[in-house]
Amino acid sequence: MSNSAIAAFKNNPRRAPHWRWLRAAQIDSGGIKASKHRDGEEGYAWIRRALRLKRHYDRAGGRAENMYALALRDGDLFWAHSIWVDDKAPTRWAIEARVIAQESDEEIAQKLGTDPSVINAYVNTFFDVRGKLTNMDYVINVIMADAVVRGLQERHYDLLWKMMAFHGGPHVLDAVINKFIPVVKPDSPDGVGGFFQDSAINLMKYKASLASLTVPVNTHTQLPLIDSFVKYVEVERTTDNATKAQHSIIDNIGAMLTAMPVKIGTKLDSADVKMLPFDEGPAELRGDEMLIIASGGKVDNAAEIQNLNFPGDK
């Protein structure tokens, strides 16, 4: 049995995200009929609905009047199918990425400008993965298998959006899809320069992130990648140590000032003993005595020093 035949099995660990549509196609080609036991109760209902749409779609033959009638018959699934068959459409990529980002049908519909029922039909028929988003290997090896096999390039928007959605969540995905990280809007002409500066910085961060994801590892890039990594580690280490050193110096200065037995910055008029009486006397203070008095301290022989006179002075 080929992998394509079992890709539509509900319990297949590697089942395709669009397994219900595959089941409908198999049944339409004479395969095993859908059943609640085999496909689950919810799967059974969606497979039968998908089968009806497929048969009517095939009979419509692409004629406008028939397609219009089909859209009226089951509009939600009709429009979901029209999105899915265009595998190069950003709308399809956006829906699938937002499902991986765990956005609700209502949130996705609001961003895409459609009804939540269309998103619900798409997810249940063509992208049934919500029950497996906590299974990391399934997400990486099945949903994003192409990225694992062929590598990732910026132009692979479908895979890039899915990867960013899985690892970064809805806010990161919004920025990746829009390619413009929001910055504060200027409220005056003076703020325009700051707007462009913030915008440029954010865009460069975005592009650097993409570059790190999309640069291939080969004989041409191995050494430059290692060199870039070493420089990054050095910058990170230097920055980290500089920050720690600055904080350590500040803390040590504070501890030193607290432990010193002198009063740093004491005002002259707040000290019991002032420098002025000694400045007016004939005797000169020693260096240690001057430091003590200037910092608000007292010397034991202060009175004697002030009363000293030169011979002949009264």
Residue with tokens 């992998």: 3
Angle between helices 41-60 and 64-73 (to 10 degrees): 160
User: Which burial class, exposed, middle or buried, applies to 124 when counting CB atoms under 10 A from its CB (0-12, 13-18, 19+)?
Assistant: buried
3-state SS class at 264: coil
Residue with tokens 């595998």: 87
Q: Are 6 and 12 in contact (CB under 8 A)?
A: yes
Report the pLDDT value the prediction gives residue 275, as an integer from 0 to 100: 60
Report the pLDDT value the prediction gives residue 181, as an integer from 0 to 100: 74
Residue with tokens 């009517």: 56
Report the pLDDT value the prediction gives residue 99, as an integer from 0 to 100: 97
Distance between the two ends of the chain, CA-based, in angstroms? 125
Report the pLDDT value the prediction gives residue 271, as an integer from 0 to 100: 45
CA distance 163 to 156: 11
In terms of Cα–Cα distance, which of 228, 229, 248 is closest to 240?
Answer: 248
Report the pLDDT value the prediction gives residue 268, as an integer from 0 to 100: 46
The tens place of each residue's pLDDT in the chain, 314 residues long, gives 456 678 888 889 999 999 999 999 999 999 989 999 999 999 999 999 999 999 999 998 888 998 999 899 999 999 999 999 998 889 999 999 999 999 999 999 999 999 999 999 999 999 999 999 999 999 989 998 865 555 555 567 788 889 889 999 999 999 888 877 777 888 898 888 888 888 888 888 777 777 777 777 777 777 777 777 777 677 667 766 656 656 665 666 666 656 555 554 444 444 444 566 666 666 677 767 766 766 666 777 777 777 777 666 55
Structure tokens at 170: 């809805």
* Beta strand spans in the chain (E): none
In terms of Cα–Cα distance, which of 157, 101, 95 is closest to 123?
Answer: 95
Report the pLDDT value the prediction gives residue 215, as an integer from 0 to 100: 72
Report the pLDDT value the prediction gives residue 16, as an integer from 0 to 100: 92
Supply the pTM of this predicted model: 0.68
Alpha-carbon distance values, 22 to 2, 93, 112, 132 (Å): 14, 19, 26, 18
Alpha-carbon distance values, 305 to 153, 284, 314 (Å): 86, 8, 15
- Write down the domain spans for the chain: 216-259, 268-307
Q: Are 138 and 162 in contact (CB under 8 A)?
A: no
